[in-house]
Structures are given as structure tokens and as C-alpha cells.
Amino acid sequence: MPSPRIYTRKGDDGTTGLLYGGRVRKDEPAIQVNGAVDEAQAALGVARAEAEPGSELDELLVRLERDLWVLMAEVATQPRNRHKLVPGASLVTEGMVAALEATIDDLSSRFDPPAEFVVPGQSRVSALLDLARTLVRRAERLALSLPAEPPSQVGPYLNRLSDLCWTMARWQEGEHLLARGPRTDRG
């Protein structure tokens, strides 16, 4: 039996399919948001690849990557089909946002937060989490272009997720290299 093909050729005209039907141009705001979220999810995956399998970080990143599938499903649904979304499966919930806040609070209690900006790159994992944070922030900015009605938790979720990525990076790096430090001239 031949395996199914990954390509359908339906997007060759510059459109993509939405959850529960309909097609839109690939440069529509919702598709731009999902593209940025897809980039952030991939960056979280690269950070996860550097984590110890089965570790707390590994399990947390898997949870976040799965959450982002829920978020992308919501974004890829036309407003007229929102009633078909299932909370926690294809619709971001307040509980999902609250879970991010609880995780931020828990991780923040494990280290002394820096008092000023830090220089990313103290470790490979922390650098990758900082990269993921910047991609989540881009998705958050793009999400502002989505219809505000009905109220959605996409914006708050992305805002908390970027905060969590920052927190995870600081948690993973241990010592922080502060932006203001002794000046070293390279000459």
C-alpha cells in the first residue's frame, strides 16, 4: 500500500485551508500569526532537544508545544466557526493562561532574578529559550491584528508564554551575566 503524500497541491494558488473549512490567502493575519507561532514552537523543540530526556524541562516544553497546537487551531478558525472549538483542545482557556502563571511563579522561586537586563547565551539551553521568547513576542505582536470579538485568550497566553520562556532561560542558566558589567575593550 503506498504511503500518503505530504503534498496536496491545494496551496499552490497561495491559499491555505482553515480548521472547520474555508480557505484564505497565506499572507492573511491569522496565517501570519500561526507562522510565527510555528517558528516559536520549533525553537522550543530545539531547546527540548538539548534538555535531558524525561527531565522537568523536557516535560514542560512538551506541554508548551502541545498547548501551541491548541492555540494554532483557534487562530486557524474563522469567527463563524468558533462555536465548534473545544476548550483546551482547540480553544485557549483562561486555565491554560493560569497554568503558565503558576509555572512562572514556581520557577521564579528557585533562583534570584536578575535586577537588570541579562546577556543571552550563558548556556545553549538558555540561549535557545531566549530565542523562543523573541519568536513568541513576534507572534504576540501579530496576534493584535486578529479580530477582538469574541474575546480570546490567545493574546494573554502568548504574553505569559514569553514571560515563561524568559523565566525558563534564567532558571536554566543559573548565574546571570548582566548587561552592565566591566567594560572590556577588544582592540
Per-residue pLDDT in tens (0 to 9) along the chain, 187 residues? 788 888 888 788 888 998 998 999 899 999 999 999 999 999 999 999 999 999 999 999 999 999 999 999 999 999 899 999 999 999 999 999 999 999 999 999 998 888 888 888 889 999 999 999 999 999 999 999 998 667 899 999 999 999 999 999 999 987 766 666 655 555 4
Q: Decide: residue 162, CB within 10 A, 0-12 exposed, 13-18 middle, 19+ buried.
A: buried
Please say whether the beta carbons of 168 and 123 come within 8 A. Answer: no
In the chain, where the domains are located = 14-173
The pLDDT score that the predictor gives to residue 174 is 79
How far is it, in rounded angstroms, from Cα 156 to Cα 148?
A: 12
Please say whether the beta carbons of 123 and 172 come within 8 A. Answer: yes
What's the pTM value of the predicted model, to 2 decimals?
A: 0.89
Q: What is 14-173's CATH topology?
A: Hypothetical Protein Ta1238; Chain: A; (1.20.1200)
How far is it, in rounded angstroms, from Cα 21 to Cα 125?
A: 39
The pLDDT score that the predictor gives to residue 117 is 86
Of 79, 83, 86, the residue nearest 24 (C-alpha): 79
User: Using CA atoms in the order 132, 138, 141, 142, what is the torsion angle rounded to 10 degrees?
Assistant: -120
Of 30, 76, 37, the residue nearest 158 (C-alpha): 37
The pLDDT score that the predictor gives to residue 187 is 43
> 39 — phi, psi (to 5°)?
-65, -45
